Structure 1
């Protein structure tokens, strides 16, 4: 299997929404979109494959070095080499990628997310950056898509955070903002222990409402964006359905992983790709 095929299979397996979204893009842009998705996956999963923060820090530094010398010799790492090619082909800025790596340092430790503002900053520098870079791949510039990409990043990050909450809580990591928990009297220790309380459910409800607020902002901005940028935003199409599933999760929401069926995800992507609009919340 060559590098491109390996990367495509990797993204299709681990981030099917972004893989399918790329299929709605012109063929010339798909390599860039898939490379960005692979890069995001590689950085995001470092916490999953290291036992201590220091090996994770070393891996992140390796990625920084790989990006800061994009003209260096081929590494043999399919994601690095194809990302470098995409950077050159689509003239992508490297600074947002370095900022994404820096933001993901937070994942290596069990420090609590301090507040909603910090959460939104983290989301903007991770998921939001990938959306914005994808828009640059598709349009050749990013001056008109930045605000929508930021809102999309927050909506995507909240949905992903809530959907994978049982996994992160089980490993002792608190991704929910401390000020949101405090507003509802939800104790971090109680959530980490998986205790299903009214206070915890109220905090989760606020996060879902916040995601819907950002989805509304994306929906308002989307019709005025360059039409060719749409595939970069398509992963957001699955968020409304995921939020509904999270709202009606049976049993303990702190111990129950939630997802949407592949067919429902594909339908959501196709509907937004066809109409150019997000469904009403």
Structure 2
């Protein structure tokens, strides 16, 4: 295909990320220039799949959309034909093929995203951590493979912890939206241990407060595990973790937007450590 067509696809991915995820958009600026467009492709895919629930009124159309992404990534067609007119798919397929990224990781990511389409409660902390591992943590590992394939395996444990921390903050940040949909991301065993029923959590009653604190404690626990490994994380891969650590810094005030100065200052300090 014409180079300008692929360049336009990557530019569209960058636009999507800058509009929809400022934390990741700014983190990309701390990576090698020749890798940045590929990170934008991964992060645009993350945004597109994360918001599938927003675009459908029933689970089935959402499942069809997620399957569409599977089909795009497993297609043996020419890149332009495989993308079926989607600039995000075009850029993503190009990145996956250029870096030989594991398609099975995307498959597990998309399988985990099926949970978003339904109102089934999150059964336990184990399932919550597994969900985080297949979504946010997987995204981090794929980005790490783009940045430094040889060093990426060394940060798998850190990515696991960072993914859980970011997922916990994400659940708190979007609590009102999830409640409106009758979705429960908080682990069921956590609710039970705190004497809160799913109905009380959805109602946002006083019993929801200790659950929020427990969710924050979960995020802090996993953030601490990342921080203790920070010195061991290659500098080339640190940008992958910046959004998760920034998210953790908002605990207690998750819904307040992070200002551009705080974001940049936090990232700069983390990269200097």
| Superposition TM-score tier, normalisation by shorter sequence | over 0.9
- Segments ≥4 residues shifted beyond 4 Å: none
Instruction: Say whether the 8 Å CA contact 1:245–1:260 is kept in structure 2.
Output: no
User: What is the match of residue 260 of structure 1?
Assistant: 258
Instruction: Say whether the 8 Å CA contact 2:166–2:248 is kept in structure 1.
Output: no
Equivalences, count: 263
Q: Supply the distance in 2 between the matched residues of 1:200 and 1:182 (Cα, whole angstroms).
A: 12
Sort the Cα spacing of 1:200 and 1:68 in 2 relative to 1 into closer, same or farther, 3 A: same
Cα-Cα RMSD: 1.5
Q: Supply the distance in 2 between the matched residues of 1:272 and 1:88 (Cα, whole angstroms).
A: 31
User: What is the match of residue 88 of structure 1?
Assistant: 97
Pairwise CA distance, 1:5: 1.7
User: Does residue 1:230 correspond to 2:228, yes or no?
Assistant: no
1:78 to 87, 95, 120: 87
User: What is the match of residue 47 of structure 2?
Assistant: 41
User: What is the match of residue 272 of structure 1?
Assistant: 270
1:30 to 25, 31, 36: 36
Pairwise CA distance, 1:29: 1.1
Instruction: Say whether the 8 Å CA contact 1:21–1:235 is kept in structure 2.
Output: yes
Instruction: Say whether the 8 Å CA contact 2:56–2:62 is kept in structure 1.
Output: yes
Pairwise CA distance, 1:153: 0.3
Q: 3-state DSSP class of the match of 1:144?
A: helix
Bigger shift: 220-229 or 126-135?
Answer: 220-229
Q: 3-state DSSP class of the match of 2:251?
A: helix
Instruction: Say whether the 8 Å CA contact 2:133–2:163 is kept in structure 1.
Output: yes
Q: Supply the distance in 1 between the matched residues of 2:222 and 2:245 (Cα, whole angstroms).
A: 13
Sort the Cα spacing of 1:233 and 1:71 in 2 relative to 1 into closer, same or farther, 3 A: farther
Instruction: Say whether the 8 Å CA contact 2:158–2:226 is kept in structure 1.
Output: yes
Q: Supply the distance in 2 between the matched residues of 1:150 and 1:118 (Cα, whole angstroms).
A: 13
Matches within 5 A, 1:26-175: 26-69=32-75, 71-74=77-80, 75-141=84-150, 142-175=152-185
User: What is the match of residue 191 of structure 1?
Assistant: 201
Q: 3-state DSSP class of the match of 2:252?
A: helix
Where do 5+ consecutive residues of structure 1 fail to align? 247-256, 276-281
Instruction: Say whether the 8 Å CA contact 1:163–1:259 is kept in structure 2.
Output: no
Where do 5+ consecutive residues of structure 2 fail to align? 1-6
Q: TM-score, normalised by structure 1?
A: 0.90
1:244 to 243, 249, 252: 252
Q: TM-score, normalised by structure 2?
A: 0.92
Q: Supply the distance in 1 between the matched residues of 2:217 and 2:37 (Cα, whole angstroms).
A: 35
